[in-house]
Amino acid sequence: MPEERHNPLDEYVTFPEAIVLSRQDVLPSESIGWGLNLVLTLPPRMAFEHVKAQLMTAGFYEEAAGGGPSLFRLVRDDAYVWGMIQSAAGGSQLFLSTTPQAEDEGSV
């Protein structure tokens, strides 16, 4: 029986079904964690603020100031979320990816 896989981004960010025009999960690989591609009916700025608010509610904080209104770079003790949002026909396109934080992050 195949192992059941769950996109951890679903625990951090959700949208009502009526807003999501399309969804594509990106399976993790050696170089990237789970990803999520969404096409939304929301304007880019509104979608950006919605995602950022949900990530901050989930305990993430901005990695660095000045990311701009289209780039995500948020971190918490156990995970890193990055991505971007851009205009698309009828709304916006959102890409997010998450990567677990390395346990020995401070060592070289």
Domain boundaries, the chain: 19-26+35-100
- Predicted pLDDT at 95: 97
pLDDT computed for residue 104 by the predictor: 45
pLDDT at 108: 36
Q: Which token pair is 83? A: 């991505």
Q: For residue range 49-60, list pLDDT tens digits in order.
A: 999 999 999 999
Predicted confidence at residue 49, as pLDDT, reads 94
Q: Tell me, what's the pLDDT at 67?
A: 65
**pTM across the whole model:** 0.83
Task: Provide the β-strand partners of residue 98.
Answer: 81
Q: Which residues of the chain have pLDDT under 50?
A: 1-2, 103-108
Q: Are 74 and 81 in contact (CB under 8 A)?
A: yes
Tokens of 58: 């989930």
Reported as a single tens digit per residue, the pLDDT across 1-13 is 445 578 999 999 9
pLDDT for the residue numbered 32: 80
CA distance linking residue 64 with residue 18, whole number of Å: 33
